Amino acid sequence: MAAGHLERQSLAEAPCPAGAADKWAILRDVGTARRVFGVSDRDLIVLQGLLSFLPTADLAADMPTIVFPSNAKLAERVHGMPESTLRRHIAALVAAGLILRHDSPNGKRYARRDMSGQIARAFGFDLRPLLVRQPEIAAAARRVHEDAALLRDLREEVTLRLRDASRLLPKDAERCLALQRLLRRKLTLAQVQDLHRETEDIFARAAALVPPPARLSSGCDSQNERHIQDSNKPFPDSEKSAETIAVRTVVDNCPSVRDYSTEAITTWQQLVAIAALVCPMMGITHETWRHALRSMGSTTAAATVICILERFDQISRPGAYLRALAKKEGFSVIPMLGALGKLTAVNPA
């Protein structure tokens, strides 16, 4: 009791910041940081009702800060809240150090005015602590906003890590799935930070499986988009596709392919390398991939595999599907790309 009394007394006598402060801005900041101050949203409804009895929009040291509504009047402002509930929420605001009580000898709330009509003495609820603690309240609200932004960024990063790892590390798929289920819950910042640390080793192993994109020693990008200029082509005489498809067309209509390259994808050589990388992840055997290369040509085979990757959740047997497409006489990948999105730059100049 003595400690509480001294704390309240210190709030009553503490110096106020210079200038006035918007009472509604303070209320918003208290609402943002309500968990920091240990108050509930229902407590804040009562605080809002008390603030509404101040005749001005600002709180200032040289202005009255005590309000003295009756229980009936205060209940009207807080949507008919029962008196017993009112008392409980007022006690919570006092305990949080957001308001002070100035009780009259008979327990009533009223103001005594001087000869000029100004309030000389008031008994009721003092809102001065809000003004005294305004810098602290504003700082707490900023921290809450910063923590919320950090929490959002960490959740996004963990989600991306688990998505990529589940594709690249089949042996860790169950673990990734369990962590993804955990991530769907409402977690605290500390819990998400723990998850972020836990996924670091998974992410590192997954990233190690993605080869750096190959670069051509000669030729410009516009030439590379039409065909692969590589002295080590696996099937130099098997480029059977008569289609001319821009790399950008495949990437734009199959955006998932970007997850498997650390750089912008601008060449067919990069797409063929990515297709070879993702085939085993989708259950497409090395033999099936080589057969597709021989039958379709490397560009069409790569574009087809990337299309299958984009629709992976809809295709039950990707390997059998690729084999069937490779057997089709005169197969064209353009309809597959067109079905995935807006087809652009199919026949670049």
Task: Summarize pLDDT for 50-86 with one digit per residue, the tens.
Answer: 999 998 999 988 888 889 898 889 999 998 999 999 9
The amino acid occupying position 246 is A
- Tell me which of 173 and 229 has the higher pLDDT: 173
- Tell me which of 118 and 305 has the higher pLDDT: 305
Q: Give the mean model confidence (pLDDT) for residues 27-31.
A: 95
So what's the pLDDT on residue 220? 40
Separation CA 29–CA 224 (nearest Å): 57
Assess contact for 250 and 256: CB atoms under 8 A. Answer: no
Place of tokens 């990734």: 176
- Tell me which of 243 and 339 has the higher pLDDT: 339
> What number of other Cβ atoms are within 10 A of residue 224's Cβ?
19
Of 179-193, 211-225, 233-247, the poorest mean pLDDT is in 211-225
Of 83-92, 158-167, 198-207, 217-226, the poorest mean pLDDT is in 217-226
pTM for this predicted structure: 0.55
Q: Give the single-character DSSP code of 31.
A: H
pLDDT band at 9 (very low <50, low <70, confident <90, very high): low
So what's the pLDDT on residue 243? 53
pLDDT band at 344 (very low <50, low <70, confident <90, very high): very low
Assess contact for 4 and 122: CB atoms under 8 A. Answer: no
Out of 220-224, 237-241, 318-322, the most confident range is: 318-322
What are 257-295's pLDDT values in tens digits? 888 887 889 999 899 989 988 888 788 888 889 889 988
Mean pLDDT of the chain: 80
Separation CA 286–CA 291 (nearest Å): 9
So what's the pLDDT on residue 114? 64
pLDDT band at 120 (very low <50, low <70, confident <90, very high): low
Separation CA 201–CA 43 (nearest Å): 45
**Among candidates 165, 156, 258, 264, which has minimal Cα distance to 207?**
165
Out of 166-180, 198-212, 214-228, the most confident range is: 166-180
pLDDT band at 160 (very low <50, low <70, confident <90, very high): confident
So what's the pLDDT on residue 280? 80
pLDDT band at 89 (very low <50, low <70, confident <90, very high): very high
So what's the pLDDT on residue 107? 67
Of 94-108, 193-207, 217-231, 323-337, the poorest mean pLDDT is in 217-231
Separation CA 340–CA 254 (nearest Å): 7
Q: Give the mean model confidence (pLDDT) for residues 321-340.
A: 86
The answer to whether residue 218 scores a pLDDT higher than 80 is no
pLDDT band at 26 (very low <50, low <70, confident <90, very high): very high
Separation CA 222–CA 244 (nearest Å): 12
Q: Give the mean model confidence (pLDDT) for residues 313-332.
A: 86
So what's the pLDDT on residue 110? 62
- Tell me which of 135 and 161 has the higher pLDDT: 135
